[in-house]
Amino acid sequence: MIGIAEGLRKWRCYSVDFTRKFIHIAVGMWAYGMVSLFERKEFAIIPSLTFIGINALSLWQGAFKAMETGEKGQLGTIYFPLSFSVITWLLWEQPHLLVASLMPMTWGDALAAIVGQRIGRRWFSIGKSRRSLEGSLTMFLSGWMATLIPLILLPSSQMALLGAIGIAAMTAFVAAVVEAFSPRGMDNLTVPAISALVLVLL
């Protein structure tokens, strides 16, 4: 995954921001492959735990240019696979909720950042966090769609379509609000956690 991103960065001269988004989405989407390929959670969390070590190496030693931001204090690339590992362990018996919990951060956060940077016009600040209204709306809409898919398609889900639509919308809305309040990088912890909590409670 990181090798592909590093290759794209060198071959196509893509920015580090692009390759980081590519890796971020790829990590989140691995959830689908994980619940399909593994039978035991003890083995399922090995890739995400390994990725934590790889990201730590990249962050502190600059091992992979595709992951670097030049901001040594930003631990978001470690926090997301950490969240992935914890949610995998806790929700392993409910694969549809496991995957759905990771989707607002996987797609919502990545697309929100792109939209906010490119067409963001209406900006607001909450504490030290600065967000665009356009980005937050993208976070909600893309998170809604991405959360809905596993709730209606994965075999472990018994949800009716209308119920799944409502639950996905509520999850995405709460995730977007929490993301807006989260300090930079911490949303990789707070968004998956709140998404999982909402899905379990609903």
One-character DSSP codes across 122-182:
-EEEETTEEEEHHHHHHHHHHHHHHHHHHHHHSTT----HHHHHHHHHHHHHHHHHHHHHS
3 state SS of 40 = coil
Per residue in 75-93, pLDDT (tens digit) is 777 899 999 999 999 999 9
Q: Which residue has the higher pLDDT, 67 or 194?
A: 194
Record the pTM. Answer: 0.85
DSSP one-letter code for 105:
I
pLDDT of residue 121: 78
- In the chain, what are the domain boundaries? 2-201
Per residue in 141-196, pLDDT (tens digit) is 999 999 999 999 998 888 999 999 999 999 999 999 999 888 877 899 999 999 99
Amino acid at 6: E
What's the rounded Cα separation, in Å, for the pair 103 and 162? 19
